[in-house]
A and B are shown apart, each in its own frame.
Chain A
C-alpha cells in the first residue's frame, strides 16, 4: 500500500518516489498547493478504487495521514 501511495504522490508532485517519507507534506513539497492537493485526491481515489469523504479530504495533510486514512478504508 505504501508503495502505491508513494507512486501516486511522485506522479502528482513530480518528485522521486523514494523521496516521499513520513514528513512529506505541503511544508516539505513546494508543489503541494490546493490544486495539486485535489489532483492527489483524485489520483489516490483512482488508484485505490474508493472515494474520500469531504472530511477526509481536508485531513489528508501529510503522507502519514494519507497512509492512516487509506489503511482505515481498505
Chain B
C-alpha cells in the first residue's frame, strides 16, 4: 500500500514547543525581519501589545514540522496554506500545533488538513488549512504483487544444451516452463518430466519459429495450459556449418536470418501482447561472442546474430515504457553438443586464453538468463551480458 492510501480522514498529529528568545533571534537572523514589535521591548511597550510579540510565521513554521515529519511525514509536498493569526504569541508561550486530515483528493494524491495552533491556555492562536501532496518514492516494480503472480517462462530451443540448462535453472527459480523444441520431442518431453518432479508445471511445445501461425498456436497453447508468459528465452539455434566466403551463398545467410531475426519477430509478435496485458515481461535473446570477435567462416551466423542484437536493442527502446525488458546473453564457447565436434586443440586454446581459464558450462549461461528473468534485473534493458570468462570485455 502506498502512503496516500494508508492515510485516513480524521487522522491527527501534533507537536508542542516552547517559544524562546533564541527562537526569535534565529528567526530574525534567517529572515531579516527585525520589526521592533518583535525584538524591541521598549518599542513594544508603547503599543497595544505592551510586550514584544513573536513573529506569527515563527509559530506557523511549526505547521511545517508537523506536516513534514508526522502527517503525512516523509514525502510531503506542502503546496497550499491559508492562515489566520487570532492571538499574539510571546516568548515563553507553549504552543501546540495540531493537524487533522479533513479531506483526501484522490485525483492529486493530496490531503487537506486543518492546521490550528493553541497556547498553553488552550486558546486557539492560529487557524488555517493546508493542502499537501504525497510524493511516494519511486520503487522498482519488484512488488509483492509481482512476486505473488505465477511465473511462466517459455524457452525456445529448450531441448538444446543451453536451453536445457536455462529450463532447469528457471524451474529452480520458481518458473513454470514451456520447453520448446523443433525436432527433439523425446528430449523436450524428458526435460518437462524432470521439471515436473521439481514441483513446477512444465509442458513441451513444438513450433517452427520461422512460421508465424505455428508460433501463434504454440503461444496460445502455453497461455491456455500454463497461463500468461512473462519470460521468453530465445536460445533457438539451427545447424552451424563453417562456410568459407568463397562458398557462401545467400540461402545460407537467409536461413540464419530466418531463424534468428524472423524467429524473434514471430515470437515477439505473439508473446509481447501477452506481456503487455501483464504490464511486465522479459525477453532474453541468446547471441554469441562471435559478434564481438568474429571468427572465420561464420559470416552467415555472425550477420544474423548481429541483426538479432540490433532488433533486440531497438525492441527494448519501444517496449520499455510498457514494462517489457529486452536483453541479450552473449556466451563464448560453451560446453554443449554444438562444440562437441570442435577439435580438442580449439577447446583447449579457448580455455587457456580466457582469463578465467575455462570455457563456459551451460549452467554459467543459465545463471545469466536467470538474472535477466528475475526482478533483480528490472532496471536493465537493451543490455548484453557477456558470459565468456573475460575473453571479450566491453
A residues near B344, Cβ cutoff 8 Å: 68
Pair A72/B349 contact, Cβ less than 8 Å: no
Q: How far is the CA of A72 from the CA of B344 in the complex (A)?
A: 11
B352: min CB distance to chain A, Å? 4
Which label, helix, strand, loop or mixed, suits the secondary structure of the B interface? helix
B357 touches A27 (CB 8 A): yes
Indicate if the CB atoms of A62 and B348 lie closer than 8 Å.
Answer: yes
- Proximity bits, B129-154, A CB within 8 Å = 1, else 0: 00000000000000000000000000
A64 at the interface (CB under 8 A from B): yes
> A61 near B345 (CB under 8 angstroms)?
no
Residues of chain B within 8 A (CB-CB) of A25 are 352, 357
How many residues belonging to B are interface residues under a CB distance threshold of 8 Å?
7
Q: Which of B342-368 contact A (CB under 8 A)?
A: 344-345, 348-349, 352-353, 357
A68 (CB) vs chain B CBs: closest residue? B345
A25 to B355, CA, bound (A): 13
Alpha-carbon distance A59/B353, docked complex (angstroms) = 9
Give the residues in chain A near B348, CB-CB below 8 Å: 61-62, 64-65, 68
Contacts of B349 in A (CB 8 A): 59, 61, 65
Complex-state Cα separation, A15 to B258, whole angstroms? 56
With A and B bound together, what is the CA distance between A5 and B357 in angstroms?
A: 22
B-chain residues with CB within 8 Å of residue A72 when the two chains form the complex: 345
Q: How far is the CA of A63 from the CA of B143 in the complex (A)?
A: 52
Q: Which of A56-74 contact B (CB under 8 A)?
A: 59, 61-62, 64-65, 68-69, 72
Complex formed: what's the CA distance from A69 to B344 in Å? 10
**Residues A62 and B352 in contact, CB atoms below 8 Å apart:** yes
Interface residues in A31-74 (C-beta closer than 8 Å to B): 59, 61-62, 64-65, 68-69, 72
Interface residues of A: mostly helix, strand, loop or mixed? helix
Give every chain A residue within 8 A of B352 (Cβ-Cβ). 25, 61-62, 64-65
Q: Which residue of A lies closest to B344 (CB)?
A: A68
The CA of A68 and the CA of B357, in the complex, are separated in Å by 17
Contacting A at CB under 8 A, from B19-65, are: none
State the CA gap A62–B352 with chains docked (Å): 7
Residues of B close to A61: CB separation below 8 A: 348-349, 352-353
Which residues of the other chain, B, contact A69 by a CB distance below 8 angstroms? Answer: 345
B357 and A59 within 8 A (CB): no
CA distance in complex: A72, B349 (Å):
14
In chain B, residues 329-346, which have Cβ atoms closer than 8 Å to a Cβ of chain A? Answer: 344-345
16 A–B contacts, CB within 8 A, in A order: A25-B357, A27-B357, A59-B349, A61-B348, A61-B349, A61-B352, A61-B353, A62-B348, A62-B352, A64-B348, A64-B352, A65-B348, A65-B352, A68-B345, A68-B348, A72-B345
19 A-B pairs besides A25-B357, A61-B352, A65-B345 with CB distance below 8 A are A25-B352, A27-B357, A59-B345, A59-B349, A61-B348, A61-B349, A61-B353, A62-B348, A62-B352, A64-B348, A64-B352, A65-B348, A65-B349, A65-B352, A68-B344, A68-B345, A68-B348, A69-B345, A72-B345
3 tightest A-B contacts by CB?
A61-B352, A68-B345, A65-B348
Chain B residues within 8 Å of A, Cβ to Cβ: 344-345, 348-349, 352-353, 357
